[in-house]
Amino acid sequence: MFPTVISSEWLIENINQQDIRIFDVSFFENETIEKAKHLFAKEHIKNSTQLLLRGRDLSMQFFTKIPKASTFTQLATQQGFSRGIHAILYDRDGRSAVRVWWLFQYFSHVRVSILQGGMTAWKAKNLPMEERKIAKLAEVPVTAFAAQPRPDLIVEPVELAQFLASNKILMPEELPQYLESIRQYERVVDQKQILNQLDMVDIQGQVKKKAVFEQIIDARSDQNKKLIPGSIQLNYELFYKDGMILTDILRIKSIFRERMVTIDRPVLVVGDDGFDYSLIALICFLYSGRGINGIQVLKGSISGFFDGQLEMSQSLAAQPGSMLRSTEDLNLSGSFKDQ
């Protein structure tokens, strides 16, 4: 049992525990690797290590790309990450820690917590900072940590297209019949919260089968963009403000009920920049209390899916039972027209 989102006070109290390691996981999107290392060395939270999980190519979309398992393993182990630790992640941009948290879930290291507010909140409380020389990459045994991908946590664009063609999505008008199911699930969650208080715990599932999602949650803040028919609009900004993640379970419950999200049913979260859908995946994780199982994300961006699916949609429109009646249901960008 350990909290998923921790406060500065929690970290100060537990900082000397043997298994805790603190990592600055800021991507430094617009900086070279050398500049990123320099910025970390110049100032960082005391006793923390830099964990820069990116390459040198500044054109790479760090928030939407998933590294190869071998690359992730090499980057992590060379920078001091090892199996069996409780990793505390923080950032300077208010975004990187959430994305890296999701990457560790995907690569099967679940003992990961996010420092609420990151380095900004830490500094605002005048808590210990330090500077040090740029450290060389460590020589570590390959057995120290090995990333184990969980393909059940991602949905490929072609899988989403096939799913839409099969017309299996749970439409909003069908959701009221599941209200009693929602209430029953909330009672279970409430019991867990009494035990855990505000410590949102990870309960690692034992079964890692490919989930079949029944709801699609659109995490984008711009809700004027084209939407997947039947998807639930859940703006990530409802749960994130000024670098702070909403952890009030009662407020989360209220928002989910208002938007008719049935958290006991598998969900697919889509977004555009990687941070938006990683954050909503985290919120689903916190509320469900069952771990990451049944919470999938779309590989890549939903806008990229729309832009790249025109040709596929023309083919799918001809299939029996498709929700696409013809290619006229698509605009020129490949997104669905408003229904």
CA dist 125 and 265 (Å) reads: 40
Position 330 scores a pLDDT of 39
Are 175 and 296 contained in the same domain?
yes
Are 277 and 159 contained in the same domain?
yes
Position 297 scores a pLDDT of 95
Position 191 scores a pLDDT of 47
Does the structure show a pLDDT above 70 at 145? yes
Of 66, 101, 130, which residue constitutes the final position of a domain?
Answer: 130
Are 175 and 299 contained in the same domain?
yes
Confidence of residue 209 (pLDDT cuts 50, 70, 90): very low
| Closest CA relative to residue 22, chosen from 53, 47, 54 | 47
Q: Percent of the chain at pLDDT above 70? A: 73
Position 60 scores a pLDDT of 61
Question: 339 in a domain, yes or no?
Answer: no
Are 197 and 254 contained in the same domain?
yes
Question: 303 in a domain, yes or no?
Answer: yes
Question: 146 in a domain, yes or no?
Answer: no
Of 100, 130, 160, which residue constitutes the final position of a domain?
Answer: 130
Are 172 and 225 contained in the same domain?
yes
Q: What is the pLDDT of residues 173-183, one digit of tens each?
A: 544 444 444 45
**Sequence-separated (6 or more) residues with CB below 8 Å from residue 204:** 110, 291
- CATH code of the domain covering residue 157: 3.40.250.10
User: Higher model confidence: residue 334 or residue 307?
Assistant: 307
Does the structure show a pLDDT above 70 at 20? yes
> Would you list the DSSP string of 106-149?
HTT---EEEETTHHHHHHHTT--EE--PPPPPP---TTS-----
Question: 136 in a domain, yes or no?
Answer: no
Are 103 and 167 contained in the same domain?
no
Are 170 and 72 contained in the same domain?
no
Tokens 């949102």 map to which residue? 200
CA dist 329 and 339 (Å) reads: 9
Domain holding 303, by residue range, is: 151-329
Are 192 and 308 contained in the same domain?
yes
| pTM across the whole model | 0.79
Please state the rounded mean pLDDT for residues 110-116.
Answer: 95
Are 109 and 167 contained in the same domain?
no
Question: 159 in a domain, yes or no?
Answer: yes
Q: What is the pLDDT of residues 36-55, one digit of tens each?
A: 999 999 999 999 999 998 87
Q: Percent of the chain at pLDDT above 90? A: 48
Number of structural domains (the chain) is: 2
Are 76 and 169 contained in the same domain?
no
Are 164 and 313 contained in the same domain?
yes
Q: Which of 127-136, 166-175, 177-186 has the lowest mean pLDDT?
A: 177-186
Q: What is the pLDDT of residues 72-83, one digit of tens each?
A: 998 898 888 888
Phi-psi region of 242 (alpha: psi -120 to 50; beta: other; left: phi over 0): left
Are 48 and 15 contained in the same domain?
yes
Phi, psi of 25 (to 5 degrees): -105, 20
User: How many C-beta atoms surround the C-beta of residue 235 within 10 A?
Assistant: 17
Does the structure show a pLDDT above 80 at 70? yes
Tokens 């830099």 map to which residue? 50
Position 83 scores a pLDDT of 86
Question: 144 in a domain, yes or no?
Answer: no
